[in-house]
Amino acid sequence: MRGNLSVQGWLAGRTLRTRLIAGVFVLLAGSCAGIGITTSITLQRFLLERLDQQLVGAGSRLDVSLEHTNGRGGPGGPTPDGGEPGVQGQVVGTLATRIVRGSLVAPVVVNDTAGQVSLGNVAMSSADRQKLLHLVPDGRPTTTRLSSIGEYRLRATRSQDGDIHITGLPLRDIESTLHRLEATELFVFAAALLLTGLAGAGWVRLALRPLHRVTTTANQVSSMTLGSGAVDLPHRVPDTDPRTEVGQLSAAFNQMLGHVETSLEQREASEARLRRFVADASHELRTPLAGIRSYAELARRSTEAIPDEVSHALGRVESEAVRMGRLVDDLLLLARLDAGRPLEQEDVDLSRLVIEVTSDARVAGPDHRWSLDLPDEPLVVRGDEHRLHEVVANLLSNARTHTPAGTSVVVRLRANQQSDHQVHQVLLSVTDDGPGIPAELRASVFERFVRADDSRSRAIGSTGLGLSIAHAVVTSHGGSLTLVSAKGGTGFLIALPAGNGT
């Protein structure tokens, strides 16, 4: 369970390439280990079987020699051909001994001295002797470690005269063969793993290249602005071979892009229709509204005596018609800004504009404390003076109408300079120490028809369009309007790109 978790932990966050290479590597390493172990075991069995056969042959031949030796009471003397009987052709290291009436006769080992094989006594520890004495004389070979001469394959048989004959062959040749095989396998497998790792990395990189193209296209699409305006998604993944997985993915991805494009086109078309409708409706409403206003005014100013209530009602019709006219103008302006209608492009002296709007606000709100903070040099931006005037007037009107008398309002103009002392941005802030914008309104304050639902807002006949118009105008100037601080008051910051004259 823990191993499973740690493998998952390792895989988490790894690239597909690393996972594939690691997977192939682990599989190959497992196969190599399997092949290595199987080969070693099979070879070991085969060699042991062959050794056991040799052991049977060696036993019968050495018996002759030992009989001869015992007959003389010492190691065998030379044969006519210069060797010893039963010793010629024996493997060097072959062990032979007998147990006669329960005691071990001195064990002998075949030696090779200058190409001449002979039998020699071998000194054995009492533990080794005990091991030999306890061998079962059933003729079956067993593997035993003898401290004096190493690991041996031993076989004990009982002869007709009741003695036990023990023959042994050393296992060192088998061990060294197996060690050599293991070393060779280790080297070959390591080389195979290294080559597979390198070639596999290259191959997987090649195989995953089409996937990289899908990622590139996805990144290109995600860096596009899809939120508004006409949408064109020119990017498509090139490989769409349906026989490959990546091709199928690419085709599905392209299909999805096509679907997104169609949906966005439909959305854009319906938004354009809506904008046109609002613009047309607002435009069409202007004329009858102007008519209502003029006729109400005409009737109110009539020389005929009209009752007071009628005169009051006509006055209300007139003022409501004015309000509605303003609302219609605002809607028309928003529809035009949404449609991306180009604005006037002229040098606007923002310092002068701010002075003018603030002095208008002073007149309109004598109960507020107005202060201006301007830099020495006039700051100029490129844009539509009339619209920018509206924006600043709107912010000051908010600071006046949504705060109680006695509130201080500070209008500050600053230049944002780069390291080369070139002004690249003009910052205009309007802050007041009034009650602040209600917390639930702050996130949506630039949306249309959003206003605090309090009696004050209703009393001043606010529509909730002022800030959304200001935001749209500033944005279409390439600038930004943000609510900067609403702690114990309200602060709006306008950032506009500086004009040529600055």
Ligand X SMILES: Nc1ncnc2c1ncn2[C@@H]1O[C@H](COP(=O)(O)OP(=O)(O)OP(=O)(O)O)[C@@H](O)[C@H]1O
The option from ligand X, Mg ion, none interacting with 411 (CB < 5 to 8 A, set by class) reads none
What DSSP line would sit under 334-387, residue for residue? HHHHHTTPPPP-EEEEHHHHHHHHHHHHHHH-TTSEEEEE--SS--EEEE-HHH
Contact residue for ligand X among 94, 217, 250, 490 (CB under 6 A): 490
Least CB distance to ligand X at residue 441 (A): 6
Least CB distance to Mg ion at residue 429 (A): 17
Q: Cα–Cα distances in Å, from 58 out to 27, 91, 105, 108, 350?
A: 46, 8, 18, 13, 116
Contact residue for ligand X among 434, 476, 481, 498 (CB under 6 A): 434
Least CB distance to Mg ion at residue 470 (A): 8
Contact residue for ligand X among 408, 463, 482, 485 (CB under 6 A): 463
Distance CA 416, CA 254 (A): 44
358 forms part of the interface with ligand X (CB under 6 A):
no
The site for Mg ion, by CB under 5 A, has a size of 2
Torsion angle (degrees, nearest 10) of CA 147, 148, 153, 156: -100
Least CB distance to ligand X at residue 348 (A): 22
Distance CA 57, CA 90 (A): 9
Contact residue for Mg ion among 466, 479, 491, 499 (CB under 5 A): 466
Least CB distance to ligand X at residue 481 (A): 11
Judged by DSSP in three states, 408 sits in strand
Distance CA 197, CA 201 (A): 6
Contact residue for ligand X among 95, 402, 411, 499 (CB under 6 A): 402
128 phi/psi in degrees, rounded to 5: -65, -40
Distance CA 50, CA 98 (A): 24
398 forms part of the interface with Mg ion (CB under 5 A):
yes
Query: Residue 24 or residue 411: which is nearer to ligand X going by CB?
Result: 411
Sign of the dihedral through C-alpha 373, 379, 382, 385 = positive
Query: Residue 18 or residue 462: which is nearer to ligand X going by CB?
Result: 462
437 forms part of the interface with ligand X (CB under 6 A):
yes
Query: Residue 261 or residue 433: which is nearer to ligand X going by CB?
Result: 433
Distance CA 248, CA 246 (A): 5
- 75: its two tokens: 């190691």
Compute CA 104 distance to the chain's CA centroid, rounded to the nearest angstrom: 76
472 forms part of the interface with ligand X (CB under 6 A):
no
- 498: its two tokens: 């500086």
Angle at the Cα of 97 from the Cα atoms of 64 and 74, rounded to 5 degrees: 70
Least CB distance to ligand X at residue 411 (A): 12
Least CB distance to ligand X at residue 365 (A): 12
Query: Residue 168 or residue 466: which is nearer to Mg ion going by CB?
Result: 466
Contact residue for ligand X among 318, 432, 472, 479 (CB under 6 A): 432
Which chain residues interact with ligand X by CB under 6 A? 394, 398-399, 402-403, 432, 434, 437, 441, 445, 450-452, 457, 462-468, 490
In the complex, the residues that contact Mg ion under the rule CB under 5 A are 398, 466
